[in-house]
Amino acid sequence: MSDQNSDPQLTLPRRQYIQLFEPDFLAWPPTKYLKNSDVQQWLYRNLFDTSQNTRLPPESYQMRVLRQLIGKIEKAIEENPTKDKISNKLTECLTHLINHSVPSESEEVREDAYVTFTCLSEKGSSNNSQPDELDPTITLLERRYLVSGSRTTGFRTWEGSLHLGSYLLTEEGSRRVRGKNVLELGAGTGFLTILAAKHLQAKHVTATDGDEGVIQALKENLALNHVDEAHKVRTETLTWGPFSDESWIKADCASHPYDVIIGADITYDKVAISALVLTLQDLFDMRPGLQVIIAGVVRNAETFQMFRDQCAHHRFVVEDIEFEPRPMRQQKALFYAAAMPIKILAISRGSKTMQV
């Protein structure tokens, strides 16, 4: 058989699995392929073996996936059960999970969970021999159930961030951050900050969020991904609105003159939009040549249009970046639903004549 570590029939479902993709949508290989004992060993070693994988999904998720996998293998070996077998490792693993008082599916969503995102550029992955080295990844500890009293949703990575990340991994998108000083607004879990700092060669990234708890979790995710917070990334709490004279952001911009602002899933709240636009206004005052890239799922067309209108009122130039999400079954990395429109906007300050 070909090298299984680079076999797309196996690496694709593994990428989906470590991102906690919904089990019913995992892209398993054909059932006849699953009969192969080497394939079953590979799946056990790379999806369930705790000695080989230190940051596996929650056990409840593992059990749901393993039940489905064993069911598919049983179907595959029905024609010749005396010749074809199910790996003992897989069945023993399922027995262990069943006997281990694994939380129910409803309890599972309340668990902190490692989520690993595969960050492939247009050129695809490398051909290193070990699965963890095969693809560039970002691993985040997410608290998907947690929404704070301040309506913060920054403890999980949302579709807008993954869509913007997919764009930044293209050649066109990567040029926007490579070698640049980047400021992220509403950084949340830190996915885009880590992507820019770790995989896209940003010069420096300042990651901000309005919630102190989110910033603390972001710091933990930076350490988890071995991103040098002392030199490569700065994390700060930032409340949107006009900057005060003593604002730390002015000193930070003097030290690391911002070239580009990024933000994802930050235009869903009508209450916050005016403050966000005022923040952009002050940033343009500090750095008139700034380029701003904002992505978001259009859950409410009226709210998204309100953001556009507020930008127009401040004489910002707003352009749509043409980058459509791939249908889920065509995605090879950064898996996310695209049932609702997802937009990416490029925003810049208008010329002096436009601002008169």
pLDDT tens, residue by residue, 64-77:
999 999 999 999 88
| pLDDT of 273 strictly over 90 | yes
Which domain-ending residue is among 49, 82, 108?
A: 108
Residues 103 and 158 reside in one and the same domain: no
Q: Are residues 198 and 97 in the same domain?
A: no
Residues 158 and 91 reside in one and the same domain: no
Statement to judge: residues 258 and 184 lie in one domain: yes
| Segments of 98-136 assigned E as strands | 113-118
Question: What is the residue range of 32's domain?
Answer: 4-108
- pLDDT at residue 83 in the model: 77
Domain count, the chain: 2
Does residue 99 form part of some domain?
yes
For residue 106, pLDDT beyond 90: no
CA distance 38 to 44: 10
Q: Cβ neighbours of residue 22 under 8 Å, at least 6 residues apart?
A: none
Do 85 and 183 belong together in one domain?
A: no
End-to-end CA distance of the chain: 69
Residue 68: inside a domain, yes or no?
A: yes
What is the mean predicted confidence (pLDDT) over 202-213?
A: 96
Name the 3-class secondary structure at 348. Answer: strand
pLDDT tens digits along 292-344? 999 999 999 999 999 999 999 999 999 999 999 999 889 999 999 988 999 99
For residue 69, count other CB atoms closer than 10 A to its CB: 24
Together in a domain, 225 and 320: yes
DSSP assignment letter at 19: T
Assign 3-class secondary structure to 158-226. Answer: CHHHHHHHHHHCCHHHHHCCCCCEEEEECCCCCHHHHHHHHHCCCCEEEEEECCHHHHHHHHHHHHHCC
User: In one letter, which amino acid is 13?
Assistant: P
Q: How far apart are CA 308 and CA 317, in angstroms?
A: 10
pLDDT class of 229 with cuts at 50, 70, 90: confident
Q: Is the pLDDT of residue 219 over 70?
A: yes
Is 271 within the bounds of a domain?
yes
Examine the pLDDT at 227 and tell me if it is beyond 50. yes
Cβ neighbours for 238, distance < 8 A, ≥ 6 positions apart: 185, 208, 209, 210, 249, 279
> Measuring CA to CA, how many Å separate 138 from each of 121, 218, 225, 263?
13, 13, 7, 18
Residue 123 lies in a domain: no
In this prediction the pTM is 0.90
Sequence-separated (6 or more) residues with CB below 8 Å from residue 83: none
Rg over CA atoms, the chain? 22
175, 58: one domain: no
The answer to whether the CB of 79 falls within 8 A of the CB of 34 is no
Which region, left, alpha or beta, applies to residue 321 given φ > 0 means left and ψ of -120 to 50 means alpha? Answer: beta
Angle between helical axes of 301-313 and 270-286 (0-180°, round to 10): 30
Query: Which residue among 83, 108, 133 closes a domain?
Result: 108
pLDDT at 31: 86
What is the residue whose two structure tokens read 């580009």?
260
Most confident of 52-61, 155-164, 185-194: 185-194
Using the predicted structure, report yes or no on whether residue 127 has a pLDDT greater than 60. Answer: no
In this prediction, residue 356 has a pLDDT band, given cuts at 50, 70 and 90, of very low
What is the mean predicted confidence (pLDDT) over 254-265?
97
- 134 in a domain, yes or no? no
Question: Residue 74 has what pLDDT?
Answer: 92
Burial label for 247, CB within 10 Å (0-12, 13-18, 19+), is: middle
CA distance 284 to 146: 34
Model confidence over 7-50: pLDDT tens digits?
999 999 999 999 999 999 999 999 889 999 999 999 999 999 99
Question: Looking at the predicted structure, is the pLDDT value of residue 135 above 80?
Answer: yes
Answer yes or no: are the C-beta atoms of 125 and 135 closer than 8 Å. yes
Domain match, 305 and 256 both: yes
261-271, pLDDT tens digit by residue? 999 999 989 99
Same domain membership, residue 202 and residue 72? no
Burial of 127 (0-12, 13-18, 19+ CB in 10 A): exposed
**Mean pLDDT over the full length of the chain:** 89
End of a domain among 108, 132, 162?
A: 108
Type of residue numbered 332: K
Give the CATH number of the domain where residue 263 resides.
3.40.50.150
